[in-house]
């Protein structure tokens, strides 16, 4: 077990980034990654494997806030194969943004009037990183996610791409496009769970400590479920509120 598992807030040497994490007092260490007992979990996460997994899954769990709030957004978790590995596309948000500046996230954003959320996800990915909507094959959804700090919900779409895309960050919204190997995300030295007291209730909070960036919050929760579903170590109903 790494120091990161046993000591909340401590990333392995050479990992983690400048993202500000509002860790509450009394935070304690959580458990290992769901895939910890698998000998080679990265071998399970392929483009064809993700297609098969999502074709067989029951429908995504809906957020309890759906139908009761006006704010909805969608993100796109896009995977592709390149150089013998499976990769996932993340972004580092612009430091000039008013909300969630500098955070790591999936491409995505708010729903426009009259727009379905699948279109929102692909439109936002095109606007933020130049991903051609015609190259996107959406294979399913993660569970819909409510956020505690805002009266909104997120629908995460899972997509596969035919090879490594050429992406360019829109500097008004994105500082960098991150192409991250799935094998790195599945490394137990990269993953960390903490237990936070939020409004009097203990909740899990998940982290992925990349080189130069810390993925946490809603993005880490979605990423954890995606990897868990793809490796067969998690099911539906595991996302909830973040």
The answer to the question of residue 127 being in a domain is yes
User: What is the number of domains present in the chain?
Assistant: 1
Q: How confident is the model over 112-151, as pLDDT tens digits?
A: 999 999 999 999 999 999 999 999 999 999 999 887 666 6
The answer to the question of residue 102 being in a domain is yes
Please answer whether residues 47 and 226 qualify as being in contact, where contact means their C-beta atoms are separated by less than 8 angstroms.
Answer: no
Residue with tokens 């909805």: 72
Please answer whether residues 182 and 90 qualify as being in contact, where contact means their C-beta atoms are separated by less than 8 angstroms.
Answer: no
The answer to the question of residue 239 being in a domain is no
pLDDT of residue 2: 31
Nearest alpha carbon to residue 47 among 180, 230, 235, 222: 230
CATH of the domain at 51: 3.90.79.10
pLDDT of residue 138: 99
Chain CA centroid to CA 41, Å: 18
Q: How confident is the model over 39-89, as pLDDT tens digits?
A: 999 999 999 999 999 999 999 988 766 666 667 899 999 999 999 999 999
pLDDT of residue 150: 65
The answer to the question of residue 15 being in a domain is no
Q: How confident is the model over 165-192, as pLDDT tens digits?
A: 999 999 999 999 999 999 999 999 999 9
pLDDT of residue 12: 72
DSSP-assigned beta bridge partners for residue 156: 75
The answer to the question of residue 26 being in a domain is no
Q: What is the pTM of this model?
A: 0.91
Its sign, for the CA torsion 143, 212, 122, 113, is positive
The answer to the question of residue 221 being in a domain is no
Q: In this structure, what is the dihedral angle of CA atoms 112, 115, 117, 121, given to the nearest 10 degrees?
A: -60
For 114, the domain range is 47-182
Q: Return the number of other C-beta atoms located less than 10 Å from residue 187's C-beta.
A: 18
Q: How confident is the model over 21-34, as pLDDT tens digits?
A: 888 888 899 999 99
pLDDT of residue 9: 62
pLDDT of residue 94: 86
Q: Is the pLDDT of residue 205 over 50?
A: yes
Its sign, for the CA torsion 162, 85, 191, 97, is negative
More confident: 123 or 19: 123
Nearest alpha carbon to residue 161 among 117, 129, 120: 129
């Amino acid at each position: 077990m790494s120091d990161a598992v046993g000591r909340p807030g401590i990333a392995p040497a050479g990992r983690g980034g400048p993202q500000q994490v509002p860790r509450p007092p009394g935070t304690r260490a959580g458990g290992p990654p769901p895939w910890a007992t698998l000998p080679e979990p990265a071998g399970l996460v392929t483009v064809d494997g993700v297609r098969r997994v999502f074709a067989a899954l029951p429908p995504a769990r809906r957020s309890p806030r759906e139908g009761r709030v006006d704010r909805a957004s969608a993100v796109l978790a896009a995977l592709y194969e390149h150089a013998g590995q499976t990769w996932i596309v993340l972004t580092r948000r612009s430091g000039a943004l008013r909300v969630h500046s500098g955070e790591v996230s999936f491409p995505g954003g708010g729903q426009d009037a009259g727009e379905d959320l699948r279109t929102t996800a692909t439109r936002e990915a095109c606007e933020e990183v130049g991903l051609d909507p015609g190259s996107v094959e959406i294979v399913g959804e993660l569970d819909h996610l409510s956020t505690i700090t805002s009266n909104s919900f997120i629908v995460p779409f899972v997509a596969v791409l035919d090879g490594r895309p050429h992406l360019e960050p829109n500097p008004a919204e994105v500082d960098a496009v991150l192409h991250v190997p799935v094998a790195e995300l599945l490394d137990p030295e990269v993953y960390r769970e903490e237990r936070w007291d939020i409004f009097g209730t203990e909740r899990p909070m998940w982290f992925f400590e990349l080189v130069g960036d810390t993925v946490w919050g809603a993005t880490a929760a979605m990423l954890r479920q995606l990897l868990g579903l793809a490796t067969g170590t998690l099911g539906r109903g595991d996302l909830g509120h973040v």
